[in-house]
């Protein structure tokens, strides 16, 4: 008589778990939105639109900005620096808690140091470099604003870690990183697209918008830093309590 076939034959191991495409994207959207509302890159893009080659320079800036965000997020997703071995949860939790507390503290300091109404706010050096810059230089400035601005680097890296730590598999990870990058860079496309439609009629509104963004840059960045820092802290508590 043949021996009975074990009931577990032909079934997947019990540890197997399907992860849908985009499953980690929801946790990274907040970080992408934090990048999207950064005032300085938007003001720099407006400056590119007011240059002598508005269409070429705005396209170059948008490409550099998008590539910079994608590069940071991808590096964070594939690197092992956030892995803690077989059980990386505690390490991830403490890293996020530390980053969150630092971001809240920096946000509070930025709010306290914002220029008063009668003060002229300083223009960031990279924005000053936009004046008279060629197309390749504008491309590099867009990349630098994404890849070397501490706030946006932290947000892009956090989004990349959120996606990379979900173990989605190669294709799904690439898909989520692409969507994350598109959301984060989306606000760079709005002024560029509007200019393609309206042309020179937007020059004066663009100048006013750029002036407002520079004047209120510290306040906007402070609010974003505190909000995202609190998000990091809450997320760290969830991870550490699991």
The predicted-structure confidence for 179-225, as pLDDT tens digits, reads as follows 999 999 888 777 777 777 777 777 787 778 777 877 777 888 888 88
36 located within any domain: yes
59 located within any domain: yes
The pLDDT of residue 13: 43
Domain count, the chain: 1
Contact yes or no for 51/130 (Cβ under 8 A): yes
* pLDDT-derived band at 143, boundaries 50, 70, 90: very high
Q: What is the pLDDT of residues 212-229, one digit of tens each?
A: 877 777 888 888 888 878
241 located within any domain: no
- 151 conformational bin, left if phi > 0, alpha if psi -120 to 50, beta if neither: alpha
Distance CA 45, CA 186 (A): 12
89 located within any domain: no
Q: Is the pLDDT of residue 80 over 50?
A: no
158 located within any domain: yes
The pLDDT of residue 4: 53
8 located within any domain: no
Q: Locate tokens 């197997």: which residue?
A: 16
Q: What is the DSSP string of 18-47?
A: ---TTTTHHHHHHHHHHHHT-HHHHHHHHH
Q: What is the mean pLDDT of residues 149-168?
A: 82
212 located within any domain: yes
Distance CA 202, CA 8 (A): 68
State the residue range of the domain holding 65: 25-81+120-217
């Amino acid at each position: 008589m043949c021996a009975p076939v074990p009931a577990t034959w032909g079934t997947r191991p019990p540890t197997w778990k399907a992860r849908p495409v985009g499953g980690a994207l929801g946790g990274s959207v907040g970080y992408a939105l934090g990048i999207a509302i950064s005032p300085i890159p938007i003001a720099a893009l407006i400056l590119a639109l007011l240059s002598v080659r508005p269409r070429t320079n705005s396209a170059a800036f948008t490409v550099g900005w998008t590539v910079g965000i994608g590069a940071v997020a991808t590096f964070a997703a594939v690197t092992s620096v956030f892995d803690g071995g077989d059980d990386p949860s505690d390490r991830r939790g403490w890293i996020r808690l530390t980053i969150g507390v630092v971001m809240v503290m920096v946000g509070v300091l930025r709010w306290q140091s914002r220029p008063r109404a009668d003060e002229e706010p300083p223009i960031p050096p990279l924005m000053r470099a936009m004046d008279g810059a060629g197309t390749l230089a504008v491309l590099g400035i867009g990349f630098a604003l994404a890849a070397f601005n501490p706030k946006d680097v932290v947000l892009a890296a956090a989004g990349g870690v959120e996606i990379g730590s979900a173990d989605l598999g190669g294709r799904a990870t690439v898909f989520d990183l692409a969507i994350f990058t598109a959301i984060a860079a989306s606000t760079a496309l709005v002024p560029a697209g509007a200019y393609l439609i309206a042309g020179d009629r937007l020059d004066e509104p663009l100048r006013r918008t750029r002036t407002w963004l520079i004047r209120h840059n510290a306040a906007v960045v402070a609010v974003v830093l505190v909000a995202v820092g609190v998000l990091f802290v809450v997320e760290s508590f969830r991870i550490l309590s699991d």
